């Protein structure tokens, strides 16, 4: 019998689920793709948020989540930049699939932003949000409303704080 290890970070269907839910809870109607990809990265790998430089008010909200530090978790994580790079193709394929399935507005995507269509919002409400645990909702709300707003409009500062960089 052959066994395979499943990595949610590298699963396109899991990426679709994460991205749709993040956008559903996003502070504004549209999200810059780079910020969305970074938020999705930390949704898939919450312990790595401990390595991010955050303003004091955002750090306080993060501490309330009580996420275990990476060195105390069961998993061993590679460096965030390597894992972020590995997730790139999965995230991009997920976004393409969401556009093809009419979950995203393609017009916003041409501007480097992501926005849920009305069908995407219905899909999130009917299929995804109800199935989330309370802990997941708190993490998503933190990522979509606090973390994603750090240095809003200044992607260079967000890249410095996270150590993650990708050409979108």
3 state SS of 54 = coil
In a domain, 167, yes or no: no
| Region label for 158, one of left (φ > 0), alpha (ψ between -120 and 50) or beta (otherwise) | alpha
Tokens 């269509």 -> residue: 117
In a domain, 1, yes or no: no
At residue 1, the pLDDT reads 66
Give the CA distances from residue 101 to residues 19, 44, 50, 97, in Å, rounded to whole numbers and listed in that order: 14, 22, 35, 6
In a domain, 150, yes or no: yes
1-13 tens-digit pLDDT: 677 777 889 999 9
32-87 tens-digit pLDDT: 999 999 999 999 999 999 999 999 999 999 999 999 998 888 778 889 999 999 99
Would strands 113-114 and 31-32 be described as parallel, antiparallel, or unpaired? antiparallel
* Alpha-helix residue ranges (DSSP H) falling in 26-117: 33-44, 56-64, 80-100, 106-110
In a domain, 70, yes or no: yes
Minimal CA–CA distance to 98: which of 22, 1, 35, 16? 16
At residue 125, the pLDDT reads 96
Give the CA distances from residue 142 to residues 32, 63, 104, in Å, rounded to whole numbers and listed in that order: 17, 11, 22
Domain that holds residue 92: 8-162
In a domain, 3, yes or no: no
In a domain, 55, yes or no: yes
In a domain, 168, yes or no: no
90-113 tens-digit pLDDT: 999 999 999 999 999 999 999 999
In a domain, 120, yes or no: yes
Tokens 């839910």 -> residue: 21
What global pTM score does this model have?
0.93
For the chain, what is the domain count? 1
136-163 tens-digit pLDDT: 999 999 999 999 988 877 778 888 899 8
Tokens 């909200």 -> residue: 61
């Amino acid at each position: 019998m052959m066994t395979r290890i499943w990595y949610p970070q590298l699963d396109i269907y899991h990426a679709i689920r994460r991205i749709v839910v993040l956008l559903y809870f996003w502070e504004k109607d549209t999200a810059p793709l780079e910020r969305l990809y970074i938020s999705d990265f930390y949704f898939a790998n919450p312990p790595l948020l401990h390595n991010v430089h955050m303003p004091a008010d955002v750090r306080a909200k993060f501490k309330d989540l009580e996420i275990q530090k990476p060195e105390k978790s069961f998993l061993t994580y590679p460096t965030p930049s390597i894992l972020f790079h590995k997730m790139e193709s999965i995230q991009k394929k997920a976004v393409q699939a969401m556009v093809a399935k009419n979950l995203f507005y393609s017009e916003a995507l041409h501007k480097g932003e992501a926005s849920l269509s009305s069908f995407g919002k219905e899909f999130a409400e009917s299929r995804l949000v109800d199935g989330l645990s309370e802990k997941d909702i708190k993490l998503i709300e933190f990522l979509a409303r606090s973390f994603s707003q750090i240095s809003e409009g200044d992607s260079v500062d967000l890249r410095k704080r996270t150590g993650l960089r990708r050409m979108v």
